[in-house]
Amino acid sequence: YLYTRIAADTAGVGIAAIGNGLDNLKLFYPNIEYKEGGERKVIPANKKCGPHFQSYAFFRTERCLAQCILAPTPTLLTPFMFKLKAEDVMIHFRRPFFQFKGKNPHGIRRHTAWHTTPTYEYFANILESIKRKGILGRVYLVAEPHQRDDDIVVKLEEVWNATWVSGSPNQDHYLSRVSPTFIGSFGTFTWTIVYLSQAKTIHLPIVSNMTYGSTW
């Protein structure tokens, strides 16, 4: 939705949801007003902006606009926000609940969901590097509720004393955006957090089987 909304606003056109797209938008974005029809040209809401999907470079000029459109409301403020200190770290962990079988539409063979999940070592190496610099504060972690008992989540809690944050998806998203240091996974949730982030330092994975990532 973010990609489509920014592209539509920048181009001065509207959004059209085709198929079950409108039902999905209403489900995930209930606070947005949806109007039927209209005379403006439209961009299908179930498209991902083609080759610009998850492209930070392409959307860089619209970042301030996106921050205004998606500015927080009072319901997004959680107690954790007021506990964050300058050296605290927020981790977004994401393991897909489905598995790829055979080849995906891009012709890449994927056997398991692991291919879109960073390893534990990826998170540990980043935390260790921050610790060596003497600037590691508290470690917080956001993920979907059903991933509460994932092996990587449990190990992050045991080894790094990570604190599980369980708010609404919007609350977790905004809390991650304002965290001083952010460590991301793959997926749209991480992408939009980073795109709207106010963090001083951001760490992102490159390839799922790598034990290190990129630092911004």
List, as one string, the DSSP characters of 155-187.
HHHHHH-PEE----HHHHHHHHHT-SEEE--SS
User: What is the per-residue pLDDT for 61?
Assistant: 78
pTM of the model: 0.72
> Among 27, 14, 31, 24, which Cα is nearest to 46's?
24
Return the amino acid letter for 160: W
Residues of the chain scoring pLDDT < 70: 1-54, 96-115, 208-209
Residue 117: CB atoms within 10 Å: 22
User: What is the per-residue pLDDT for 96?
Assistant: 66
